[in-house]
Amino acid sequence: MTSNLVNIKGDSFEFYKAGIFNRPYLITQNGQFKGYPFRTYGYSGYEGGYSDHFPVYIFLVKPL
């Protein structure tokens, strides 16, 4: 972690955990790319999905 990310206005935070946000509505349900992210654009143009990758998230905690 960089100090700019974990030290905000004198408060210090620590990395707790990270994850991948992959809810069913973000996943292609059938076809050649079943199980992959539901893309916004594909070979045939606009597909109506969200992204070509799953979002990631992190939890930062502030020690007491």
pLDDT single digits (tens) 37-58: 999 998 889 989 988 899 999 9
Domain range list for the chain: 3-61
Model confidence at 8: pLDDT above 90: no
Model confidence at 32: pLDDT above 80: yes
Read off the pTM: 0.66
Mean pLDDT of 4-27: 82
Cα–Cα nearest to 36, from 50, 19, 18: 50
Rounded distance between C-alpha atoms, residue 26 and residue 3, angstroms: 33
